[in-house]
Amino acid sequence: MNRRVVVTGIGAVAPGGVGVKPFWELLTAGRTATRRISFFDPAPFRSRIAAECDFDPVAAGLSAQDVTRLDRAAQFALVAAREAMLDSGLAVDADNAHRVGVSLGSAVGCTERLEREYVAISDAGQRWLVDPDRATPYLYDYLVPSSMAAELAWLAGAEGPATVVSAGCTSGIDAVGYAYELIQEGTADVMITGGTDAPISPITVACFDAIKATSAHNDDPEHALRPFDRTRNGFVLGEGAAVIVLEELAAARRRGAHVYAEVVGFASRGNAHHMTGLRADGREMAAAITAALDDARLDPTAVDYVNAHGTATRQNDVHETGAFKASLGPHAYRVPISSIKSMIGHSLGAIGALEVAASVLAMEHGVIPPTANLHEPDPQLDLDYVPLTAREQPVDVALTVGSGFGGFQSAMVLARPEVRA
């Protein structure tokens, strides 16, 4: 049984604003939301830049109790889910609850609270034997981040399959891919899916410092993340969430829902190479793209826009360019490719879902968001990366890709619903 799966609701919390509207305005304006870290004193760190969300959880609709209880990543996810549910107009009740599931991506879960609580009960790293008497009662929910999927399921009233997908930096795209497969095969009719992460805390900043994966353009935070640029020197951490309501097409049409786009293909592959390194040829990402296009029964030439992983590490942009050439052939040189990370940073397990959302919005509005900060092309990277300025251009089919530590390579193909009508 291969049912068709469509996007009927989108919610976003991203650097630059809460909600889909400010998210899309930032992207299409080519503005960047990266800045010097304000959440803590970044002076002792190598990379002192991040794309932070100016997020007021109470203003965003959460209760004081939720704010106390929930990690920032869970708060983002709930706010984005609420917007997505409202946007979809979906009603979940006793009749359909068991057909509604949750699949939420997160790379580092509730690290922000795990670190904060650790500091409190270890006397700031002075004791190995932390004090159990001072532990918050919510600590277990931070340890095991499926607590965040439970929060979303409670919010939506979902009683179908629920899980957190935690595949590192492909968590967001993989969570949506999993949701797509469950609806396609008939296990669920609706999935509340997406990704969330709030990694801008000392431990995460320090661990990317230790491998020099993040940008040290500390003198120019607004222009630090430079995908495909000759002067790129790493990514900038971001944070946020995107939640998407996926539904079976016929049911969505029956209830008169607005159908943004159809998920037509998804695949993941491992590179089996190195926990943090990438092969230059991008072979496994290419294999994922090819498999996703096969799943979609579309030719590479059908792709109108590629939403790149585009982290601006020296390796990634070469790897990815290789993957596009290997999978799309000559079409790789014609299709516009852009990295929204240049504007909103790399929010680890959230970014894949934010990129799915951006791809859907590109189709919806006929606008391709640019790659900001791309002033000096790298002669090694010779594709059309849509530098600096958004392009008004119809997009019927979009490809979005992700790549992460552990060798994860994922690709998803989205299409306007009439493409396969």
Partner 1 sequence: MTAAVVTGIGVVAPNGLGIDEYWAATLRGESGIRRITRFDPDGYPVRLAGEVVGFAPNQHLPGRLLPQTDRMTQFALAAGDWAVRDADLDLAALPALELGVITAGSAGGFDFGQRELQNLWGKGPNHVSAYMSFAWFYAVNTGQLSIRHDLRGPIGVFVTEQAGGLDAVAHARRKIRRGARLMVTGAVDSALCPYGLTAQITSGRLTGRTDPRRAYLPFDRDASGHVPGEGGAILVVEEAGQARARGVRGYGTIAGYGATFDPAPGSGRGANLVRAIAGALADADLDPAEIAVVFADAAALPELDAAEAAALAEVFGARGVPVTAPKTMTGRLYSGAGPLDLVNALLALRDGVIPPTVHVAPASVDHDVDLVIGGPRPLRGGAALVLARGRGGFNSAMVVRAGPG
Partner 2 sequence: MTVFGLDELMQIMRECAGEDEAAQFGGDLANTEFNQLGYDSLALMETASQVARRLDISLPEEEFARVETPAQLLALINERLSARSGPQAGVAARTGGTTG
Q: Which stretch binds partner 2 (CB under 8 A): 81-89, 190-198, 246-254, 274-282?
A: 274-282
Binding mask 338-357 toward partner 2 (x if CB under 8 A, else -) reads --------------------
419 binds, among partner 2, partner 1, none (CB under 5 to 8 A by kind): none
Query: Does the protein bind partner 2 through residue 210 (CB under 8 A)?
Result: yes
Closer to partner 2 at the Cβ: 86 or 206? 206
Residues 107-126 that bind partner 2 (CB under 8 A): none
Give the bridge partners for 371, in sequence order. 387
Interface with partner 2 by CB under 8 A: which range of 211-219, 240-248, 254-262, 349-357?
A: 211-219
With binding defined as CB under 8 A, does residue 365 bind partner 2?
A: no
**Sequence-ordered list of residues with C-beta below 8 angstroms from that of 297, at least 6 positions apart, any chain:** 264, 265
The pair phi, psi for residue 292, each rounded to 5°, is -65, -40
Beta-carbon contacts of 188 under 8 Å, excluding residues fewer than 6 positions away, are 99, 100, 101, 160, 161, 179, 182
Residue 169 a catalytic site member? yes
- CA–CA gap between residue 371 and residue 386 (Å, rounded): 6
What would the two tokens of residue 226 be?
């430079």
**What DSSP letter does each residue of 206-228 carry, written as one string?**
HHHHTTT-B---TT-GGG---TT
- By CB under 8 A, name the one of 270, 277, 329, 394 that touches partner 2: 277
277: partner contacted, choices partner 1, partner 2, none (Cβ within 5-8 A by kind): partner 2
Instruction: Identify whether 365 is a catalytic site residue.
Output: no
Residue from the set 86, 211, 280, 388 that interacts with partner 2 by CB under 8 A: 211
Query: Shortest CA distance to 266 belongs to which of 291, 231, 239, 229?
Result: 291
CB 406 → partner 1: shortest distance, Å? 2
Shortest approach of partner 1 to residue 389 CB, angstroms?
Answer: 34
Q: Name the active-site residue from 169, 217, 223, 319.
A: 169
- Judged by beta carbon, residue 96 or residue 231, the one nearer partner 2 is 231
Closest CA to 327 of 408, 415, 401, 254: 401
Half-sphere exposure of 243 (CA within 13 A, CB side): 35
Catalytic residue at 207? no
Nearest to residue 35, comparing CAs of 22, 46, 49, 15? 49
Integer Cα distance of 292 and 264 in angstroms: 8
What gap in Å lies between CA 286 and CA 405, rounded to an integer? Answer: 17
List the single partner that 67 binds among partner 1, partner 2, none, CB under 5 to 8 Å by kind: none
Task: Decide which of partner 2, partner 1, none touches 268; Cβ closer than 5 to 8 Å per partner kind.
Answer: partner 1
413: which residues sit within 8 A by CB, 6+ positions away? 263, 264, 265, 266, 292, 293, 295, 296, 298, 303, 397, 398, 399
> Cβ closer to partner 2: 119 or 211?
211
> Which partner in partner 2, partner 1, none is near 101 (CB below 5 to 8 A by kind)?
partner 1
Q: Site residues (CB under 8 A) for partner 2?
A: 210-212, 216, 274-277
Which residues have a catalytic role annotated? 169, 309, 346
